[in-house]
Copies of this chain bind each other. A is one copy, B any other.
């Protein structure tokens, strides 16, 4: 039997720097834990545009559909700001999400004990925080048609369409309920059913799936504006939050920032399980390409490393090995090892991107 396969797409900005540390960790699992992967690397985003004139080559797309998991670094940067909409770096990422049908985007917002002081929120509000945002990722206003800019009389008009079908809502709802069962058994669904019909359908379908298939899970509904408020006021009231693509984009970033350590947060984007039981999957850090610190050895590789831990858990059924990796990261943080972004008033041992990789490997 061949090894499970991974396609690595480092992308732009700090993407390649943080991904280099992940590669070392993948190698470690091969050597020390006999968990071998077939790894290949390719281009996405601005890096792909520079070579191919498109932010994702067709061959790369084809490989992404064949491998067992994709690991992505980050896309975008000021160099590409003036590109036409259709070839912007982001379109590469959006094409992967859409064609791999990765409808369920898991974004944990977890506050690491060693970093609780780091949040702009009071320690008691965020310490021990552990929420999971499940964001619908392949539909809604990101992909709805009609869209574009056209002329009416002598005015430009910009249009996008928020569109959700029943089955699109149902499948992401199921994925949230399944996750909740493995956590604290609570789901809060967020929309604007008070002003949007697509929000009414969202609320209705989530409620129907709940009643028919997951009556044991506690379900609540909240308007998305109130959701943003409650995340800031008392985030620990939540366990799993399920919401649409656009609200999920904004609310998950808000939740991520609560933890005070954006450089720490991984994400998994999952499709439906394939014949081999493995869902199509893409793992990426929540942070962006950080052009301001690119190439300086300052980037924090932990979010990208924890994204690989999520891959171990969700794609390769290696929950114990994922926990091993997560524990190594926790230990290093508890020991006071800090990349620049984690350097707070209480100090710590400053390290570069590569040095952070070193100590995590040592902790493993």
Q: Which residues of A pack against B, CB within 8 Å?
A: 76, 85, 88, 90, 94, 120-122, 125, 141-142, 144, 147-149, 152, 155-167, 192, 194-202, 205, 224-229, 231-234, 246-247, 249-254, 256-258, 262
Contacts and interface: CB of A to CB of B under 8 A. Distances in A.
B160 A196 contact: yes
A247 B167 CA distance: 26
Contacts of A195: 90, 94, 142
Contact of A155 (B76, B167, B253): B167
A162 to B, nearest CB: 4
Given A161-B162, A225-B250, 19 more contacts: A85-B200, A120-B122, A120-B125, A120-B232, A122-B122, A141-B162, A144-B159, A156-B205, A157-B165, A158-B162, A159-B197, A160-B197, A161-B161, A192-B249, A226-B253, A232-B258, A233-B257, A247-B250, A254-B254
Contacts of A94: 195
Contact of A197 (B121, B149, B251, B262): B149
A231 B232 CA distance: 10
B253 A225 contact: yes
A339 to B, nearest CB: 17
Contacts of A144: 159
B201 A156 contact: yes
Copies in the complex: 2
B160 A162 contact: yes
A205 B231 CA distance: 32
Contacts of A149: 197-198, 200-201
A88 B88 CA distance: 41
A233 B120 contact: yes
Nearest to A147: B197
A247 to B, nearest CB: 7
Given A122-B122, A155-B167, A194 B76 contact: yes
